[in-house]
Chain A
């Protein structure tokens, strides 16, 4: 295994593309080193991308945020405004691992590692986030939703990596929330995650919604039927019950040691309802303004 430090994003892409064997990107390393030490991967080349401005900076322009793919969870949580404008995105990223893991783990890594239970991903998809990808053929934009393709696999081509994650500017009266269920109180993998992103009008009627579930399918899933149940309502009990039922209907989970199919389906509805209420209260308080 060779270890190289990228001196530019283009340089990183050309190193990755030029390696005939297995090449991997290193950001926080909290997945890569575990896989390396467990013998799950045998890289010929590891390219460290976290020393670059593009991968380590959070910037805001006209209400839109660009978040470097290697920005650590703790750095996201400490940002002045991100957690106010996108509380759901921020809380999803901050739920990953322990304090120690938060010091290193990145949203870019969480996205590309492509765990179905990745806590950063549902809220990003609910936010209609995109990512900037660089590769041997140049730079392209893709929806965050299009990156994971199944457990542990993603849509990036040879030599490509995610440089940054981009959150759009927000209308007034908008907010989001992410909740997950884990069998322990802390330090565990989600058995269900639910992200809700809402926009309200001045009277509190929902005008736009997006609801995304994690850990109940091979990738995070957008559930438009659940969102539709909220649009045009003030999230009364009937609307919340309909959204919960739609979320449960869309869930297609597996049973494992953390939870059964039946439990995950039930909890998908419960968390959808709870996250929707939190997002609604945040939007009413004008957290996005």
Chain B
């Protein structure tokens, strides 16, 4: 079976790859393009560790075929810091110690940024529902929620 040739945009740059029909976007990102920030947790769309933006929508890259992103725009966690400057979500996660093993963190960064790009003043409840598809087995979530609340305040330009 011939591989499928896919041309797409990843983190603002043109990209192309060859994939098998059954390979997922997550497989391609990690194994072909060496973008290993996105993690495989459950591989069934439950845990959110593989979260990426696909044409402006937050999705689980484990539930997207590589072939599906032909002509699309993909943004991964690797594109969120601008050079050495961390995004407020990343900075606040660090400051709050909102991680232990860190495996879920890239997915949480992508998902939280997606929320704050739409709504920079979410309630705690809105954050908890938005991130319900990002499982963390270490923190108990409170520090993550606090970090996202503070990042939102940063993005609103409020001193904290």
Contact = CB atoms under 8 A, between A and B. Distances in A.
Interface of A: 1-3, 5, 26, 29-30, 33-34, 36-38, 46, 48, 72, 74, 97-101, 103-104, 185-187
Q: Which DSSP category, helix, strand, loop or mixed, fits chain A's interface? A: mixed
A73 B44 CA distance: 18
Given A98-B132, A100-B133, A104-B63, A36 B45 contact: no
Interface of B: 1, 4, 21-22, 24, 43-46, 48, 51, 54, 57-60, 62-65, 67-68, 70, 111, 114-115, 129-134
Nearest to A101: B45
Contacts of A3: 4, 21, 65, 67
Given A30-B45, A36-B22, A100 B65 contact: no
Given A3-B67, A29-B63, A34-B63, A99 B22 contact: no
B133 A33 contact: no
A99 B45 contact: no
A97 B44 contact: no
B29 to A, nearest CB: 15
A280 to B, nearest CB: 26
5 contacts: A30-B45, A33-B62, A98-B134, A101-B60, A104-B64
Contact of A101 (B67, B70, B130, B133): B133
B65 A99 contact: no
Contacts of B24: 33, 37
B56 to A, nearest CB: 9
A97 B68 contact: no
A187 B150 CA distance: 25
A96 B149 CA distance: 25
Given A30-B45, A33-B63, A186-B132, 8 more contacts: A1-B22, A3-B21, A3-B67, A5-B70, A29-B68, A98-B132, A99-B131, A101-B60
A34 B54 contact: no
Nearest to B24: A33
Contacts of A72: 57
Q: Which 7 A-B pairs have the closest CB atoms?
A: A98-B133, A103-B57, A3-B21, A186-B132, A100-B60, A103-B59, A33-B63
Contact of A104 (B22, B44, B57, B134): B57
